[in-house]
Amino acid sequence: MKPRPVADLLTTLNEPIRLRILNSISCVPLAVADLAAILATPETVVVEAIKALRDIGIVRAFTVVPYVLYAVAPLTEHHERLVRAALDRVYNDPVAQHDRTAARQRSRARMDTRTRSAPMNAT
């Protein structure tokens, strides 16, 4: 993917829901349903925000059946610095802290459910 201009990146991050999504997935990959629950936002809003973040090239998707998870994409050096600076600025914000904590909990809960429901093979 061709790097986008810095102005496009800054404009994309100017939307609070997009920054909250980026903040949440900066610690663990998450599915749309998880992000919607964490952010108390309809899934349609999350999907639109993720599309904007993917279009700019800062979020990528990958499949872990049965989920499509979203994570921060590998970035060019100057985009990496800008994204890191934005995340550093919100790091101590109470809402951002809550979102990251909830992201970790939802990620662990999903993993616990998957491992518990997996059949044990005693051979």
| Cα angle value 22/91/72 (rounded, 5°) | 25
Q: Which of 94, 53, 84 is nearest to 70 (CA)?
A: 53
DSSP 8-class letter at 30: B
Task: Say what the pTM is.
Answer: 0.83
pLDDT one digit per residue (tens) for the chain, 123 residues: 555 678 888 889 899 999 999 999 999 999 999 999 999 999 999 999 999 999 999 999 999 888 899 999 998 888 899 999 999 999 999 999 999 999 999 987 666 555 444 444 444
> What is the Cα–Cα distance from 84 to 26, expressed in whole angstroms?
10
* DSSP letter, residue 120: P
CA distances from 61 to 74, 115, 121 (A): 12, 22, 31
Per-position DSSP letters for 49-79, written without gaps between them = HHHHHHHHTSEEEEEETTEEEEEEPP--HHH
- What's the CATH number of domain 6-109, 3.40.50.2300, 2.60.120.260, 3.30.70.100, 1.10.10.10? 1.10.10.10
Domain residue spans of the chain: 6-109
Omega of the bond prior to 66 within 30 degrees of 0, cis? yes
